[in-house]
Structure 1
């Protein structure tokens, strides 16, 4: 790119993982896990907890909470994230809709 060229801006979709080229199934799984992790992170922040305090509450290690806070999606399954949210007193629901043909 030369100095006078304007970079092209492309509008992304509703799933950044799909935009990055992940297969649709994997992109959806990653997005759901990322969304759940963000909810847990916000909960921890709303409590004003340190990572150590959050680890005690969730029955995890401090490094594991650090992974969550830093968005290390690969280290957390949907099951684990749902269990953590329920422990935090949150109602977790998944909605499934049939796509129009």
Structure 2
């Protein structure tokens, strides 16, 4: 049996520029970092908007998290994550599916 080497040799710090760590030139690394952060921010904003719609629906219908979980076909902790806007824990697809289950289909407008 071959032994697999699993030793960690390098860890990039959270505040570091990953593109610089990968060897890109400084100006290029800064540009790539800014572009990727802008895309991440756009995605998070969209997720937060979808989560707001779900949380509002739960509130309007006076549902407990366990009741909402049953309707949404998820666990109660997942509903808690929605209500507490933990956007990084969800994909856009998951949030769109949850909204469709409660009769709030999502329409995308590109502007």
- TM-score, normalization: structure 1? 0.72
Check if 1:27 corresponds to 2:41. yes
Aligned to 2:68: 54
Q: Deviations over 1:39-83 (max 9, x none)?
A: 000001111000000001111111111111111111110000000
**Equivalent residues in 2 for 1:1-101, closer than 5 Å:** 23-97=37-111
> 1:24 Cα deviation (Å)?
1.4
Aligned to 2:23: none
Specify every segment of 5 or more residues in structure 2 that has no aligned partner in the other structure, as ranges. Answer: 1-33
Specify every segment of 5 or more residues in structure 1 that has no aligned partner in the other structure, as ranges. Answer: 1-20
Larger radius of gyration: 2
After the TM superposition, list the runs of 4 or more consecutive aligned residues in structure 1 that deviate by more than 2 angstroms: none
Query: What secondary structure is seen at the aligned counterpart in 1 of 2:77?
Result: helix
**Aligned residue-pair number:** 77
> 1:91 Cα deviation (Å)?
2.7
